[in-house]
């Protein structure tokens, strides 16, 4: 649904909009070069996918790691969910007047949550390969 909305939005981008390639340094320290259309080129679904791959759209951390299989990762994920909820409460209490810092912290917690889930999935895959 979100991807469909983004496709509709991208379809409305003027054809003369200028795109430039840029190199970013992520918070994890490695380089990533976006797949950005050349100047004058209309963005495609691939461009939208690459653009959105690093974007977190109003997500919340969730508890989705099996605590029986990965108790430590599940506990860490639980702490991430609690931290996000505490920050949300602080935002509401302060009427969201924290210059975006609290929201940035919550966005980073979403990334942490995703990395924990990937770690559990990788551990599952490694376990399956050993069998």
Q: Where are the domains of the chain?
A: 2-53, 71-130
Is residue 38 over pLDDT 70? no
Asked whether 113 and 62 are in contact (CB, 8 A), the reply is: yes
Q: How far apart are CA 56 and CA 58, in angstroms?
A: 6
**Crossing angle of helices 2-11 and 45-53, rounded to 10°:** 120
pLDDT in tens, 51-87: 544 444 558 999 999 999 999 999 999 999 999 999 9
pLDDT in tens, 20-36: 433 333 333 333 344 44
Q: What is the pLDDT of residue 95?
A: 84
pLDDT in tens, 2-19: 666 666 666 665 554 444
Is the CA virtual torsion 5, 106, 86, 102 positive or negative? negative
Q: What is the pTM of this model?
A: 0.56
């Amino acid at each position: 649904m979100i991807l469909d909305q983004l496709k509709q939005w991208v379809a409305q981008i003027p054809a003369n909009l200028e795109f430039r390639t840029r190199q970013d340094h992520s918070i994890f320290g490695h380089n990533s070069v976006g797949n950005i259309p050349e100047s004058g080129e209309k963005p495609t679904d691939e461009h939208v996918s690459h653009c959105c791959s690093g974007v977190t759209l109003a997500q919340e951390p969730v508890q989705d790691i099996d605590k029986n299989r990965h108790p430590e990762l599940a506990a860490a994920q639980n702490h991430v969910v609690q931290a996000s909820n505490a920050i949300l409460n602080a935002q509401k209490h302060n009427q969201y007047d924290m210059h975006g810092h609290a929201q940035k912290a919550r966005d980073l917690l979403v990334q942490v949550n995703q990395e924990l889930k990937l770690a559990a999935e990788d551990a599952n895959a490694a376990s399956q390969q050993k069998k």
